[in-house]
Chain A
Amino acid sequence: MMKTKKISKVDLIFEHIDPREILIKVHGMSSEEIIEEILESGLKGRGGAGFPTGMKWKFCSEEKEKTKYIVCNADEGEPGTFKDREILDRVAYKVYAGMAIAGKAVGAKTGIIYLRGEYKFLLPQLRMELDSFHKLLKETGYDFEIDFRLGSGAYICGEESALFESIEGKRGEPRNKPPYPTTAGLFGKPTTINNVETLVNSVIIMKYGSDRYKQMGTRYSTGAKVFSVSGDTPIPGIYELELGMSLFEFVKEFGDGDTKTVQVGGAAGFCVPRKLFANTVIGFEGVPTGGSMKLFNSSRSMYNVLHNYLEFFTEESCGQCTPCRVGCQQLLKGIESVKKGESQSTYLNELIKLADTMKIASKCGLGQSVGNAFKSIVENFREEIIY
């Protein structure tokens, strides 16, 4: 049995704080000091990829360009996830503060929030709050300005380089990497892009210090995380929990007593069956998640679940690269064909090989992650796919 934490609810993200205090404190720090503090905290990106935030800021700060950007990724396209909306709705000023801190750390004067198109209704309120925040920035001596861009409704525009293309007025297609955003991001300038929640975490770290922050979570997954809990649970909703708990603990808290499996990390994540609950850590050392936790009980057909995910990817792939564009269609048609008995069940083995190719040959994280859900569902619920 792995060492895991008990479930532990915290209230840091939505806790009200005085942004002025933090801004004044950070204003007195050098760029290096800020970055050091974030590095020390062990904070990893909350947008899905889990890249160490301090490193990202450090790379960006080392670039010599005069113009740099801070971009806040508020595209939140993962089905069943609504934590970034909740954060923006309740504590937008903490997001703004996180951007200003990042700006100071890397030497950027412009921040852009790429807001999911469907969240347009939040905009009037957000703008009002931003106005007063801009005043606060002036008063505390920051040379930083934030603006909004509305997303186009495509899931792929949440991928950082596609997001830049979209802001630049082009079609949202992921770019080749390298160059990475910290060298050549938005408009070809060094750019730090962070998820909404990551930015708020940076504010929390600045307030409480990295030492206290590190006490939460595990060695590789420090801090807490906001989870969107959905599916077969009596208590769906948004929860802020320390990282590092086992899925067993999680299901004990949120399950309905009949949980068959949990999809951790949404369509791009992994499906963990009951027999693995106890051995599965929720965090970067186990199964990482952007926040989506969907529970399924024994009444659910995993064929339908997988079919839905594959339909989603078949539609939401940007379509530029072969493994993902055609691969998604093949996986979808493939399980349909096996289900109907038109292909033999051994065809699933070919499809698993294809999923492996998609993981390593696709151009971006979308195509690379389709195989996660596909393999974990087919390998764990093979009979449900066939019969």
Chain B
Amino acid sequence: MKKNKMINLKINNQSVSVPEGSTILQAAQKLNIHIPTLCNHDDLCVAGNCRVCVVEQKGARVLVAACAQPVVEGMEILTNSLKVRNARKHVVELLLSEHRADCTKCYRNQNCELQTLANEYSFGDHIFLDLVGRHEQMIDYASCAIIKDDSKCIRCQRCVRTCSELQKVSAIAVSGKGADMKISTFHDRPISHVVCTNCGQCVNRCPTGALTEKNYIDYVWDAIYDTEKHVVVQTAPAVRVALGEDLGYDPGERVTGKMVTALKQLGFDSVLDTDFSADLTIMEEGTELLTRLKKVLVDKDKDTALPMTTSCSPGWIKFIEHKYPKMLPNVSTCKSPQQMFGELAKTYYAEKKGLNPENIVSVSIMPCTAKKFEANRPEMRDSGYKDVDYVLTTREFAIMIKQAGIDFRTLESSHYDSLMGDSSGAAVIFGATGGVMEAAIRTAYEIVTGKPVPFDNLNITPVRGMEGVKEASLKIEGCKKEWKFLEGVELKTAIAHGLTNANKVMDAVSKGKATYHFIEIMACPGGCIGGGGQPIPTNIDIRQKRIDAIYEEDMSLPIRKSHENPEIIQLYNDFLEKPNSHKAHELLHTHYVERVKY
């Protein structure tokens, strides 16, 4: 097959020319002709199972699925013939006939692809019999992160493809056939009792309300209105570049200042930033890496594991616990920024503010559903209190803003509160794949050599970008006295986002085929900006826009390196003493456990 060969065809009598291998759907998009779709998703392989996209191909015996049918020279397509309209209406009516359509009570109301189609094609006609009772109305509420409601499922298998293709987890799969066909887990167990990493990528791609995050909005309102409680909130880096999408902005708009104002108006007692603890993570993790390097290179310690991997992504942590438990020693012992923040909220912050930690409620706003699980891990309560009480996704946060009647667009910008509200640009870029690596290198290189990283504007471009697995190495030169053992060492790093890519890297490492020192892994495609808790839809274009916004935010900040964050310096001076100190270890580090394989 020659590349770039163009194919000419006609859609609704309009001529169009597209590269060989394109689908009818892609050709129609080029002509701005809309063909409805459901099972199709740009991130996933073609399924062709919902049949909503069927179109008429002149000369063909049957209708063809526009999402799956490759273009052929001279093809003539009709997307809106009577035959097509009738079939499409039938398909929509059939889907509705097996669907428990209680839209007004549904989490996806007004952002649901089935609902949109129903609005276009069905006018309460009820052509067919109601089959809802036929299906089990089993709703799986057992997980603290994800709710699965089979009565809302249209069996498009986007979730199944997400979990196997993008995440290589396969926690969910199709079971049964015919009328009994459904999306199921191993032995139909609750999703909390299988290999599911809680990444929420399936939730983000589900066209309906069949997969949603468990929402904690009302718990948070209760805490806010409880006068006994002091409610602190932290916001993850990736939220500020995506929240706008749920409030009517175009993808890629940064809304940091307005977001802080909105949080204050919602009634949080203190509005603080996960970016602060991201900077702290760099201090702790960077130091840990340097210590591990020393132990291996100088002390020849056989018990120290290298490469070291990051630990900020709880989806990744659960993945390695299930799939590569033997490699748990390679995972950094640092808690994630969310948990470090929560821990400090109930210790350092409480102490400084003279508050009883018992009365502090710590809330976090995250682009992530796995963070809900992480907050509930028994390991995450070293102060004697739960580090983080409630985790809200970006989507839940947007709902709260709407509930409170806040006109987001007209809000003034404001600044985070102090003590744990300052951050550097290095912390902001945690939200994008490669960001932790870049932040860590900015700081570690400077600790070791006393000089800033040798890159224009501190922008370490080799670790940036959307490639699934990135590799970069950096020769360390001009080391300070105490780091002389690193002189001339080529620091080798790898960066993976999406668990399928993580799996590739871990497979290579576990088989001894790759020799890295440091690996950054994010469970979600694109990093946290593409998290399972981010606005729906998320796709490759939207991820790119959010990433661009993240790097803009970095450039806009006066401080770009974690170790220069004044509140971090103050934290070590007043409370933790120094990175990896005894106290830091007690509060900010942890260990993980082996889990089942199915």
Contact = CB atoms under 8 A, between A and B. Distances in A.
A354 interface: yes
A320 B54 contact: no
Given A156-B177, A314-B179, A325-B179, A320 B155 contact: yes
B49 A357 contact: no
Given A171-B174, A363-B48, A363-B65, A330 B97 contact: yes
B405 interface: no
User: Which of A173, A315, A329, A337 is the most central at the interface, judged by chain B CB atoms within 10 Å of its CB?
Assistant: A329
Contacts of B489: none
A319 B179 contact: yes
A333 B129 contact: yes
Given A362-B51, A363-B48, A333 B131 contact: yes
Contacts of B69: 176, 178
Contacts of A178: 69-70
Interface stretch (B87-95, B238-246, B497-505): B87-95
A357 B155 CA distance: 19
A87 interface: no
B103 interface: no
Contacts of A361: 51, 54, 62-63, 87, 90-91
B157 A320 contact: yes
Nearest to A315: B178
B62 A327 contact: no
Contacts of A120: none
Contact of B179 (A320, A321, A322, A328): A328
A316 interface: yes
Contact of B51 (A316, A323, A353): A323
Interface residues of B, number: 40
Contacts of A313: 178
B62 A326 contact: no
A184 B517 CA distance: 42
A154 B129 contact: no
A61 interface: no
Contact of A323 (B91, B98, B181): B91
B128 interface: yes
Contacts of A317: 177-179, 181
A357 B48 contact: no
B48 A326 contact: no
Given A333-B129, A360-B63, A361-B63, A318 B181 contact: yes
A350 interface: yes
Contacts of A202: none
Given A320-B157, A363-B48, A328 B178 contact: yes
Contacts of A328: 178-179
A178 B64 CA distance: 10
Contacts of B50: 321-322
Contact of A359 (B62, B127, B178): B62
Contacts of A329: 98, 131, 134, 179
A334 interface: yes
A330 B94 CA distance: 8
A173 to B, nearest CB: 8
Given A176-B48, A317-B177, A318-B181, A360 B94 contact: no
Contacts of B65: 176, 363
Contacts of A156: 177
Contacts of B54: 360-361
Interface string B117-128: 000000000011
A322 B178 contact: no
A350 B94 CA distance: 13
A361 B83 CA distance: 10
B86 interface: yes
A102 B68 CA distance: 30
B131 A330 contact: yes
A4 interface: no
A81 interface: no
B96 to A, nearest CB: 9
A368 interface: yes
B129 A315 contact: no
Contacts of A360: 54, 61-63, 83, 87
Contact of B87 (A154, A171, A357, A363): A357
B178 A325 contact: yes
B406 interface: no
Contacts of B62: 359-362, 368
Nearest to A354: B90
B134 A319 contact: no
A89 B174 CA distance: 36
A323 B48 contact: no
Contacts of B228: none
Interface in B43-64: 46-52, 54, 61-63
B558 interface: no
A319 B180 contact: yes
Nearest to B50: A322
B131 A318 contact: no
B442 to A, nearest CB: 45
A363 B156 CA distance: 13
Given A314-B178, A361-B87, A321 B97 contact: no
A315 B180 CA distance: 8
Contact of A326 (B70, B95, B157): B95
B177 A316 contact: yes
Contacts of A176: 46, 48, 65, 68-69
Contact of A322 (B49, B83, B177): B49
A343 B129 CA distance: 9
Interface in B147-165: 154-155, 157
A326 B94 contact: yes
B501 to A, nearest CB: 22
Given A330-B129, A350-B127, A321 B49 contact: yes
A318 B176 CA distance: 8
B131 A322 contact: no
A318 B181 CA distance: 7
Contacts of B51: 321-323, 361-363
Nearest to A313: B178
Nearest to B174: A171
Contacts of A314: 178-179
A315 B134 CA distance: 13
B86 A357 contact: yes
Contacts of B155: 319-320, 322, 325
User: Which of A318, A325, A359 is the most central at the interface, judged by chain B CB atoms within 10 Å of its CB?
Assistant: A325
B118 to A, nearest CB: 13
B98 A319 contact: no
Interface in B83-115: 83, 86-87, 90-91, 94-95, 97-98
A22 B52 CA distance: 51
Given A321-B49, A363-B51, A315 B179 contact: yes
Given A315-B178, A328-B179, A361-B62, A322 B91 contact: yes
B176 A319 contact: yes
Contacts of A320: 47, 49, 155, 157, 174, 181
A326 B131 contact: yes
A324 B174 CA distance: 16
Nearest to B89: A357
User: Which of A328, A337, A360, A361 is the most central at the interface, judged by chain B CB atoms within 10 Å of its CB?
Assistant: A361
User: Which of B70, B90, B180 is the most central at the interface, judged by chain A CB atoms within 10 Å of its CB?
Assistant: B90
B181 A325 contact: yes
16 contacts: A171-B173, A315-B180, A317-B179, A317-B181, A320-B47, A321-B49, A323-B91, A325-B178, A325-B179, A326-B98, A327-B90, A327-B94, A333-B129, A362-B51, A362-B62, A363-B49
Given A316-B178, A322-B52, A354-B128, 11 more contacts: A178-B69, A314-B179, A318-B181, A321-B49, A330-B94, A330-B97, A330-B128, A330-B129, A334-B128, A343-B129, A360-B54
Which 7 pairs, one residue from A and one from B, show the smallest C-beta to C-beta distance?
A: A319-B181, A326-B94, A176-B68, A357-B90, A176-B48, A320-B49, A317-B178
Interface of A: 154, 156, 171, 173, 176, 178, 313-323, 325-330, 333-334, 337, 343, 350, 353-354, 357, 359-363, 368
